Amino acid sequence: MENSKQSLSEQLLSKQPLQIDIVSDVVCPWCIIGYRQLAEALEQTNTPHEIHWHPFELNPNMPPEGQNLREHIIEKYGSTAQDSEESRIRMTAAGAEVGFEFQFTDDTRMHNTFNLHQLLHWAEQQGRMHDLKQALFTAHFTNNRNISDNAVLADIAAEIGLNRTEALAVLEDQRFAKEIRESVQRSQEQGIQSVPAVIFNGRHLVSGAQGVENYTSILKQLAEIPD
């Protein structure tokens, strides 16, 4: 058994880094849960990897002021208030298992994320998209900040060391609107209709938050596939 473990580890280290493309939205709770589960599985399997984030708009028609999250869920999915509460409990527990804190309140809102994705695109040019993505998940789900507000988005960018003035300019002049629309369209053309969607090495699509154990199994299977 020990020899088997060693050969798997050696095999992983000898391969090119696993390319992981994650299509997600910051207002999607299962996106951060799924990412944290995947990250834990990557660590457990010692898998060399590269992660690339791609935009998805859960609610492209959401107005700038957003909408109360509970009202939004009830309206969009026909859920009851009890269903919504039970879902929050499940998500909070799942988040806690992977070290992420959800702080749902009666005032938690759903937001339009088009501008946010433009800011992430800008951050990618500076090698900071991943850091900004994590900061935005925390801002939204843990700290209940208004991520529909350009000033708040610029503040969050500044908090991770990016230039606030430039961040605000990117948002105000809609600098990367075309790029985001094209990226979202490409994902739709690939058949991605829900998130998180994780694509391994450009060809193996896994949808939904799979859990640490399932992601670990997937990574081990991928390690056995020839490049």
Please state which architecture CATH assigns to domain 13-65+111-223: 3-Layer(aba) Sandwich (3.40)
pTM comes to: 0.91
Question: How are beta strands 18-24 and 204-207 bridged, if at all?
Answer: unpaired
% of the chain exceeding 90 in pLDDT: 86
DSSP secondary structure letters along 27-47: T-HHHHHHHHHHHHHHHHHT-
Tens digits of residue pLDDT in 84-105: 999 999 999 999 999 999 999 9
In the chain, where the domains are located: 13-65+111-223, 67-110
Confidence of residue 65 (pLDDT cuts 50, 70, 90): confident
Q: Are 167 and 161 in contact (CB under 8 A)?
A: no
Name all contacts of 177-186 with Cβ < 8 Å and 24+ positions apart: 177/114, 177/118, 179/118, 179/121, 180/55, 180/114, 180/117, 180/118, 180/121, 183/54, 183/55, 183/117, 183/121, 184/55, 184/56, 184/57, 184/60, 184/117
Tell whether omega for the bond before 64 is within 30 degrees of 0, i.e. cis: no
Tens digits of residue pLDDT in 170-219: 999 999 999 999 999 999 999 999 999 999 999 999 999 999 999 999 99
